[in-house]
Amino acid sequence: DAKTTQPTSMDCAEGRAANLPCNHSTISGNEYVYWYRQIHSQGPQYIIHGLKNNETNEMASLIITEDRKSSTLILPHATLRDTAVYYCIVSLNQAGTALIFGKGTTLSVSS
Amino acid sequence: GAVVSQHPSWVICKSGTSVKIECRSLDFQATTMFWYRQFPKQSLMLMATSNEGSKATYEQGVEKDKFLINHASLTLSTLTVTSAHPEDSSFYICSASGQGAGRPKAFFGQGTRLTVV
């Protein structure tokens, strides 16, 4: 079973920041937080991941609370192409460990 | 970055026939590959985990004799849906992880839409 809880859906205006929350209160000390997104009828796309520290890349920023029980994915300037289902997943950072997907958050970006 | 290629993107087959789906890691060695299935408006469900050179491990409720997985090399895994029936119609997605990918995460193929008529 997925170990994360996310809102079912969120709306965002184009050009504004999209802040997607995720609760993972039972995360273990050696588990990472991964974010993927899935655009309709495509395979999931990696966005970002982190363990304790906040992370930023060209796609997004990941803010992890100090107790690691929750995190927020930030898309700084959402575009229409960011409309997708966003999945927050906690998992060990091992090649042989599968990612277990929850229901995710459907983000709708509108103009 | 690392790329996982899945083929075909879509396939239509007659009930009772078998369909093979290929998953290739293009620029890294995938010691482990995963197969998922996704029904409309649902999330991805893990079907099986395959390690190169060994038998796949299937999740509970997934028939190993129906969904044959072969991971004969570090860059190729195949999923064969045998004696397909309409209820097997779904979106099948593979992912790969392993050494040399550069970043500690799994990469996903683009998925295969299977329609059994």
Tell which wins on pLDDT, B97 or A50. Answer: A50
Residue B83 CB partners (closer than 8 Å, separation 6+)? B16, B17, B18, B66
Tell me how far CA of residue A100 lies from CA of A6, A93, A97, B76, in angstroms: 14, 13, 9, 22
| Residue pLDDT, tens place only, A42-88 | 999 999 999 999 999 999 999 999 999 999 999 999 999 999 999 99
- Of B53, B61, B56, B52, the closest CA to residue B80 belongs to B56
| Residue pLDDT, tens place only, B52-69 | 888 899 999 999 999 999
Q: Which two tokens stand for residue A37?
A: 């997104």
> Between chain A and chain B, how many beta carbons pairs sit less than 8 Å apart?
58
Q: CA angle B69-B70-B76, nearest 5°?
A: 120
User: Which residue in chain B is spatially nearest to A45 when comparing CA positions?
Assistant: B108
Mean pLDDT of all residues belonging to chain A: 95
User: Would you say residue B101 has pLDDT above 60?
Assistant: no
Report A:33-92 residues touching B (Cβ under 8 A).
34, 36, 38, 41-46, 49, 87
| Residue pLDDT, tens place only, A9-50 | 999 999 999 999 999 999 999 999 999 999 988 999 999 999
Mean pLDDT of all residues belonging to chain B: 91
Please give the average per-residue pLDDT across B104-113, as a whole number.
88
Instruction: Write out chain A residues lying below 8 Å of B113, CB-based.
Output: 41
Which of A89-103, B10-24, B26-40, B85-99 has the largest mean confidence? B10-24
What proportion of chain B, given as a percentage, has pLDDT over 70?
Answer: 92
User: Would you say residue B102 has pLDDT above 90?
Assistant: no
User: Which residue in chain A is spatially nearest to B45 when comparing CA positions?
Assistant: A101
- pLDDT for the residue numbered B39: 96
Q: With CB atoms and an 8 Å threshold, state whether A41 touches B91.
A: yes
Do the beta carbons of residue A25 and residue A70 sit within 8 Å?
A: yes
Q: How confident is the model at residue B1 (pLDDT cuts 50, 70, 90)?
A: low
Tell me how far CA of residue A88 lies from CA of A49, B7, B50, in angstroms: 9, 27, 24
Instruction: Write out chain B residues lying below 8 Å of A101, CB-based.
Output: 36, 43-46
Among B91, B105, B107, select the one facing A34 at the smallest CB separation.
B105
Residue A34 CB partners (closer than 8 Å, separation 6+)? A46, A48, A49, A88, A89, A90, A91, A99, B105
Q: With CB atoms and an 8 Å threshold, state whether A99 touches B49.
A: no
Q: How confident is the model at residue A93 (pLDDT cuts 50, 70, 90)?
A: confident
